[in-house]
Structure 1
């Protein structure tokens, strides 16, 4: 994004901080966390580094703000996949499909917004304080609540519930990282889709205390596909 006269004039209204955050998110989207610097964000926003440093003292502060944007985008995408599901009357199928949609949304965001996804989990910046932690929690709570719902509807026993969110998160995150930064990066779309379907099928079968159900697995895969 190139600096422009109108953009510079707009910052007299007090929205420079937001403009810098948007610029940081764009830098992260295009180049990952290493591309997020105060000077680069200032240049993209069309202001001087001095003006930018009034809002962000260093790269760590700006990276934290970029992380928050990335977390917002990730949670929003997961919610979009949930919202796109068809009406489902069966409570077990609904609970499992919701979890499947969360997983699909997570992987989709990683594949389509790789720079932001990397930034969301970059170790630089502050990830365990303030609003950034709340944004991590908002997406993570989708998964936690989905698993609690499985217990509520009797599909997953309370005995098997502890730390199930870590297993589920690991499956989706591991798949995503294999695609964006690993050996699956150059796989053709059809092959990636088949692998994702297989991963989700195993994911569904693993989150039950009632034994594998091929029909439920087929329903969940169909319920959570988009397009």
Structure 2
């Protein structure tokens, strides 16, 4: 029986990826789906179809949808961390140590919100840890070292460390500040994307974000 065009396309695509990086190609397609539609858009069937490979070929690299989604979550966290790093690098390396520590703290918060607005699909995906995929996410994070020093929360925490080290914050007032700062910027980002502030225009969002960061800066400075 002659094989249909789809079967031929799947076979040839598999051959094409034989010497390439099919795992990376599958992840790239999954990332694009997440970028456009958030975590719910990451469906193994759609990724496999975009890559032009068989189910068997796709499942050799990702055992199930949870593993694939976990890889996308790790990618999204890495992109968020990269944007925060870029913001930190804009702070001049010289000058008053206290002001520099405050500027770095502010830069990470601004970058966190900016990423959510620029990449809403990836931001939603970064924190879409469902119970069924929790172990897969933890395994993927461990493999990429995202659960450690490169996690966005850890970058924020290091900025708080700098605030303590430079004398901006009394060490006795440190408890809970990391989590409070994260909750503030994350909560604002969610309000912009899916909450009551989603209807604000870009200038208004910029203003509100600035006021939030001002409040934190003045409160701890």
Q: TM-score range by the shorter chain?
A: 0.7 to 0.9
Question: Residue 168 of structure 1 aligns with which residue?
Answer: 181
Does structure 1 retain, via aligned residues, the 8 Å contact 2:38–2:121?
yes
Q: Does residue 72 in structure 1 map to residue 72 in structure 2?
A: no
Aligned length: 206
Does structure 1 retain, via aligned residues, the 8 Å contact 2:10–2:54?
no
Q: Which moved more, 1:11-20 or 1:174-183?
A: 11-20
Determine the C-alpha separation between the residues in 2 that align with 1:90 and 1:10: 56
Structure 1, unmatched stretches of 5+, are: 209-227
Q: Does residue 135 in structure 1 map to residue 146 in structure 2?
A: yes
Q: TM-score, normalised by structure 2?
A: 0.86
Structure 2, unmatched stretches of 5+, are: 1-8
Q: Does residue 11 in structure 1 map to residue 17 in structure 2?
A: yes
Where do 4+ consecutive residues of structure 1 move more than 6 Å?
A: 3-7
Q: Does residue 60 in structure 1 map to residue 71 in structure 2?
A: no
Determine the C-alpha separation between the residues in 2 that align with 1:48 and 1:188: 44
Determine the C-alpha separation between the residues in 2 that align with 1:45 and 1:148: 44
Counterparts of residues 75-224 of structure 1 (less than 5 Å): 75-124=81-130, 125-126=133-134, 129-132=138-141, 134-137=145-148, 138=150, 139-208=152-221
Does structure 1 retain, via aligned residues, the 8 Å contact 2:70–2:140?
no
Q: CA RMSD in A?
A: 2.1
Aligned-pair CA distance for 1:60: 0.6
